[in-house]
Amino acid sequence: MEKQKFTDRFSTVFADQNFFKKQKRIALKNCGLIDPENIDDYIFANGYTALATVLSEMTPEDVIKSVKDSGLRGRGGAGFPTGIKWESTAKQVNDEKFVVCNADEGDPGAFMDRSVIEGDPHAIVEGMAIGAYAIGAKKGVVYLRAEYPLAIKRLQKAIEDARKANFLGKNILGSSFSFDMEIRLGAGAFVCGEETALMNSIEGKRGMPRTRPPFPSVSGLFDKPTLLNNVETWANISSIIVNGAEWFSSIGVGKSKGTKVFALAGKITNTGLAEIPMGMTLREIIYDVGGGIPNGKKFKAVQTGGPSGGCLTESMLDTTIDYESLTKAGSIMGSGGMIVIDEDACMVNIAKFFLEFTQSESCGKCVPCREGIKRMLEILTRITDGEGQTGDIEKLEELGNMIKKASLCGLGQSAPNPVLSTIKNFREEYEDHVNNKRCKCVVCEKLITYTINDKCIGCSACRRSCPVGAIAGLPKEKHTIHEDLCIKCGKCFRSCKFHAIDKTSIAKEQK
Amino acid sequence: MSTIKVFINDKEYTVESDITIMQACDTIGIKIPRLCYHPKLAISSGCRICIVEVEGMRNFVASCSYPVNEGMKIHTNTDEIRKARKDILELILDNHPKDCNACVRDEVCELQQLASTIGLRERKFEGVKREKYVDDSSPSIVNNHEKCILCGRCVKVCAQIQNISAIDYANRGFNTVIVPAFNDKIANSICTLCGQCVNVCPTAALTEKNYTQDVFKILNDKTKIKVAQVAPSVRVAIGEAFGIPAGSNMEREIAHALKLLGFDYVFDSQFSADLTIMEEANEFLERLNGKGKLPMITSCSSGWMKAMEQFHPDLIDNVSTCKSPMSMMSSIVKSYFADKIGKKSTDIINVAIMCCVAKKYEAQRPELAMEDGAHATDYVITTRELAWMIKSAGIDFKNLKGQDFDAPLGLSTGAATIFGVTGGVMEAAIRTAYELATNKPLENIDITSVRGNEGIKEGSIEINGQEIRVAVASGLGNAHKLLEAAKKDPNKYHFIEIMACPGGCIGGGGQPYAGIRDLPFDPKLVNERAKALYKADELNKIRRSHENPAIIKLYEDFLGKPLGEKSHKYLHTHYKQKFPKGIIRKSKEK
């Protein structure tokens, strides 16, 4: 491939769309630009230069120092300083060590890891080879979810091509360093994204988290010292080596250096992946990069960090995106999910949605998560069904706070976040559901009342569509809905062509 | 050993540096509540009951697994911790039936005791409960999902101590259950029915199949002759169920209590243990003289027999053809003894009181049936079940005067007593085999190399100039290890004793639940039980099976000679490879 052609492609992809203007691409630098199934493309885009530099010019200590100095932190969610993790794994004396890539991306609506592997698989191979050199490992494993067939295919090809080109295998590029890697497929359990459960799963055991300590850097995969990083973290490594730690640490803010890829989803104009430098505000990413809320609706909240994160309100939109600020605001960075919620959404319902997810993904090992989240979900369901009782909100808080502090792994420790943060920021919505049996946003099915207004011409379309015979009325006369019989399925509402059916949620005492 | 300073509840202590917070607190006399923890099993930190607060840590810390470090400030009893523990316990109880009064573990339930310790006084979060499901397919063990709290001790004991892994977690989250492979019934599974899972279960999720009601019914049947037999290890453990210190020998009280319950004859399985030794020692000497395969392996343990038929079918010819003492006794009662009292075998009901749940399965093996197809042993009840029957019948067990077992099948030697402890069968067999082979008295009959609580033991003795190498294993995990070594080098041992349960029968799956403050199969408890058996052996005037006058008379009157025709009919059996779900049938085998 000629150099000219490469820049052509670059300009056609990036053009001058607003979406890209505020982005800075490190992890996604090659995505969409190179042919991911062609190793030459990757090499042409400066690929494997970092590995060659490391093997020819740097000692393992140099590499670790570089990663430490760069200020890179784990992109999987917790934000642990990557260099320190590398250093403590390197310190372990053991004949056998492993490097592992966590590609078990499970947050609903998140696809950062998938895009990196599908668009730039060699970046992972190169990053892991560098990590292995730094800590003294000979073997790497990528734990990739089976639901990503294209990613599996491309990464497999990348590994094979790299092996042929001696970027993997024995005596890589003529050095004394040997390293090889393989892919292990996950079977679709969210909890296997937790590092210790992931390692159990690779070992062929049931995917349940182990207690820590010992940490993986001391006793990880097959009880050997293991360096485990997330896809995006690995994808940053080669750029740090090539451009230097100083360059990397010049991007970002405070203790959060570099960039972060976010998956913009929900009520936002530009859905998709955006890699932005740390330190940008939520407002900038939502309105400038994301293009704001569509259909002229008002912004209500943004959920960062996927099902484990929290909901942030309008008043927090000027929070900068970095690990500390997001935590302080009551959410987390997480792996980069960003779901924008507009004024039409019921926050109790949103919290219930996330809790349904974590509840069904709990592994069942520890009591707070297994039993507690189930009970929280029961209470939430009760509230959205209009059967909430006085004290339910306090029960949710009590259980949520206990589960956060007492659960065994990150899944349980973060599962109550969506509930706790929505209670904190939208308590009046909860109270409205519990005390008035009303859902102001007209979302919670059982709290909705359907009535027929004067626009009704008596066409009987609604009467015919009603599955329970709750609508009565003579032809050409205004129809009525028997509320006692109505099951709130909404069929009449959808069948009416004259906007004659009102969908409202009325407070109990006003009825 | 290096030490460090820690602060526990604001007081400074010096503790060992390589222990957990829980261990550190144990040493200073604070017992943190715990549930899934067991010192002999891997730590999983799943129940979260043992959480404590550590200053500087964002979350609570599971004290069972978290190591202490220098200057650590630990709080075990703050308001927040107490509240969190209460919430966690409530969450466990919310998914557990509220039928304590109708539960087989009422009063001996660890969960009940924990609730009392934690002081739960209100229930706030109740909701749906897990689905009802009772697997009573097996004659030995019942799995009641409704009562399971998923502490995982059963899974761990099965995998880590017994090396069987018959049960494991299935499904996830709130739908998690503990089941045999393929979600099948226990009866179809590879479970060896050793009952160690029952021993460690804190609730009534895993219990023995209870036959006490059937036995009470039969005791009221005037048309039948009711015969009881009592295993050696029952007598040194049953007292624990009545608050009598571990290691008290209650054999006279048991005999008395059984009579009060309505049994017509109370015999001693130790008699048939002597009988087993007569047959087994002679069988061993025959094999030693070239008739049959070596090493010979014992066949007394029912759990081991099922394990052998599933996992070591290649050893079928190595296993002694002797029935277990229980089955020998039952056969003799329904033949020799029935004749003696002028009754038919069908008039007799044999009830065996065993420390074992696998014996319930053994009793139903078709190859051990009498000629008419009826089971030789009609009912097997565990030590626990007998203790309950005694209480239920209002018998003041502690203050009974006690009486002897009935003659002639109640007379036994010290050699038979030690059948109840690992290494005991081996020791008893050596005592008899040596003297039968050499016609000389064995000078030191305490064969200490096969004694003790280690999982695998080895010893040797010279018989007529030949070194006889023996080995003993207790616990199926240890048994697998020993047998793999024996298979690698077939000449390594001449004689091997295997017991399915750790410690032998005294650690059996049917023994009383450990006191609430002791842990299940606490090594201290097992040691006390063992000591009591060795002491009974020492105090017995006759310590060699072949010197038991009742045994000598049985051979004179009925059996003829060891390994004779009648012996083969009543005292020996055969084995067949078994294929439960999970054991793959090779194409050659039919």
ipTM of the complex: 0.91
Most B CBs within 10 A among A211, A358, A377, A411, hence the mutation to make, goes to: A211
Give the integer Cα–Cα distance in Å for A444 and A425.
19
CB B248 within 8 A of CB B239: yes
Are residues A396 and A278 part of one domain? no
For residue B48, give how far its alpha carbon lies from the nearest alpha carbon of chain A (Å).
7
**pLDDT over 80 at B539, yes or no:** yes
Say if A13 falls within a structural domain: no
Q: Is A236 within the bounds of a domain? A: yes
Distances (CA, A) of A101 to A128, A166, A198, A202: 8, 20, 10, 11
Nearest CA to B509 out of B354, B390, B363, B391 is that of B354
Residues A40, A57 within the same domain = yes
For chain A, which residues lie within 8 Å of any Cβ of chain B, measuring from their own Cβ?
A: 189, 191, 206, 208, 211, 213, 359-368, 370-375, 378-379, 395, 398-399, 402, 404-408, 413
Q: Is residue A2 part of a domain?
A: no
**Is B95 near chain A, with CB under 8 Å?**
yes
- Residue B40 pLDDT grade (very low, low, confident, very high; cuts 50, 70, 90): confident
- pTM here is 0.92
pLDDT at A509: 67
| Average pLDDT of chain A, as a whole number | 93
* B394 shares contact with chain A (CB less than 8 Å): no
Domain for residue A211, yes or no?
yes
Structural domain for A70, as ranges: 25-250
Per-residue pLDDT band at A15 (split at 50, 70, 90): low
Reported confidence tier of residue B516, pLDDT bands at 50, 70, 90: low
Among A379, A409, A436, the domain-final residue is A436
Locate tokens 């207004």: which residue?
A: A453
Which pLDDT band holds residue A3 (cuts at 50, 70, 90)? low
pLDDT for the residue numbered A150: 96
* A232 plus A299 within the same structural domain: no
Q: In a mutagenesis test of the A interface, which of B52, B88, B155 is the best target, namely the one with the most A β-carbons within 10 Å?
A: B88
A278 & A323 share domain: yes
Length of chain B: 590
A375–B125: do the CB atoms touch at under 8 Å? yes
- Cβ distance of B88 and A367 shorter than 8 Å: yes
* Closest among B201, B563, B242 to B399, alpha carbons compared: B242
| CATH code of the domain made up of B127-208 | 3.30.70.20
Distance of alpha carbon A263 from the chain centroid: 7
Q: Where in chain B is the domain with CATH 3.40.50.1780?
A: 213-571
Contact present, B535 and B407 (Cβ < 8 Å) = no
At B174-232, the pLDDT tens digits run: 999 999 999 999 999 999 999 999 999 999 999 999 999 999 999 999 999 999 999 99
Question: Mean pLDDT throughout B90-113?
Answer: 93
Query: From B150, which residue of chain A is nearest by alpha-carbon distance?
Result: A365
Measure the CA–CA gap between B21 and B9, rounded to whole angstroms: 12
Q: How many residues does chain A have?
A: 511
pLDDT above 50 for B590: no
CATH 3.10.20.740 segments of chain B:
3-77
Return the structure tokens found at B505: 């029968």
What is the b/e burial string over B338-356, where b = at least 16 CB atoms within 10 angstroms of the residue's CB?
beeeeeebeebbbbbbbbb
pLDDT one-digit tens code per residue, B241-263:
999 998 999 999 999 999 999 99
Query: Across the interface, do A378 and B175 touch by the CB < 8 Å criterion?
Result: no
Q: Let me know whether A319 and A333 are in one domain.
A: yes
B141: nearest Cα among B544, B571, B509? B509
Does any domain span residue A20? no
Encoded tokens for A436 = 């008035």
Q: Which residues in chain B touch residue A364, judged by CB atoms under 8 angstroms apart? A: 150, 169, 171-176
Res A20: pLDDT: 82
Residue B170: strand pairing partners: B177
What's the CATH number where A500 sits?
Answer: 3.30.70.20
Cα separation, A235 vs A238, in Å, equals: 7
Number of compact structural domains in chain A: 4
Pair (A327, A233) in one structural domain: no
Give me the pLDDT at residue A76, please.
87
* Mean pLDDT, residues B494-505 taken together: 95
CATH number at A137 reads 3.40.50.11540
CA proximity to B281, closest of B257, B298, B260 = B298
By C-alpha distance, which of A376, A334, A328, A333 is closest to A355? A376
DSSP readout, A223-290? GS-EEEEEHHHHHHHHHHHHH-HHHHHHSEETTEESEEEEEEEES-SS-EEEEEETT-BHHIIIIIIS
- Residue B127: its chain A contacts at CB < 8 A? 374-375, 378
B3-77 — its CATH code? 3.10.20.740
Residues of A in contact with B92 (CB under 8 A): 367, 371
Burial A49-64 (b: 16+ CB within 10 A, else e): ebbbebbeebebeebb
Torsion of the alpha carbons at B224, B230, B235 and B237, rounded to the nearest 10 = -90
Q: Is the pLDDT of residue A7 over 90?
A: no
Contact A367 B59 (CB under 8 A): no
**Lookup: tokens for A31:** 């995505």
- Residue B111, pLDDT above cutoff 50: yes
pLDDT per position as a tens digit, A294-326: 999 999 999 998 888 999 999 999 999 999 999
A10 located within any domain = no
Of A250, A269, A291, which closes a domain? A250
Q: Which distant-in-sequence residues (6+ apart) come within 8 Å of B460 by Cβ?
A: B449, B467, B468, B469, B470
The residue from B110, B283, B427, B497 that is catalytic is B283
Q: For residues B128 and A70, what is the distance between their CA atoms, to the nearest angstrom?
A: 51
pLDDT in tens, A439-491: 999 999 999 999 999 999 999 999 999 999 999 999 999 999 998 999 999 99
Please determine, for residue A1, whether its predicted confidence score (pLDDT) is greater than 50: no
Our CA-based measurement puts residue A462 at a distance from the nearest CA of chain B, in whole angstroms, of 37
Q: Which residue has the tokens 């290649």?
A: B314
Q: Best residue in B125, B155, B156, B169 to probe A by mutation, most A CBs within 10 Å?
A: B125
Q: Are B526 and B422 in contact (CB under 8 A)?
A: no
Q: Are residues A206 and A159 in the same domain?
A: yes
CATH code for the domain of A353: 1.20.1440.230
Architecture category of domain B213-571 in CATH: 3-Layer(aba) Sandwich (3.40)
In this structure, are residues B183 and B170 in contact, taking their beta carbons and an 8 Å threshold? yes
CATH 3.30.70.20 intervals, chain B: 127-208
Query: Cβ(B101)–Cβ(B37) under 8 Å?
Result: no
Question: What distance in Å separates the CA atoms of residue A77 and residue A305, rounded to the nearest whole number?
Answer: 7
Q: Does A11 map to a domain?
A: no
Residues A377-420 have pLDDT tens digits of: 999 999 999 999 999 999 999 999 999 999 999 999 999 999 99
CA distance B518 to B220: 37
In this structure, the answer to whether residues A236 and A94 fall within a common structural domain is yes
Q: Are residues A271 and A229 both part of a single domain? A: no
Determine contact: B83 vs chain A, CB below 8 A: yes
The answer to whether B171 contacts A368, with C-beta atoms less than 8 Å apart, is: no
Domain stops at, among A250, A271, A300: A250
> What tokens appear for A141 in the block?
């494993």
Instruction: Kindly report the CATH number assigned to the domain that includes residue A307.
Output: 3.10.20.600
Same domain, A41 and A163: yes
At residue A43, the pLDDT reads 95
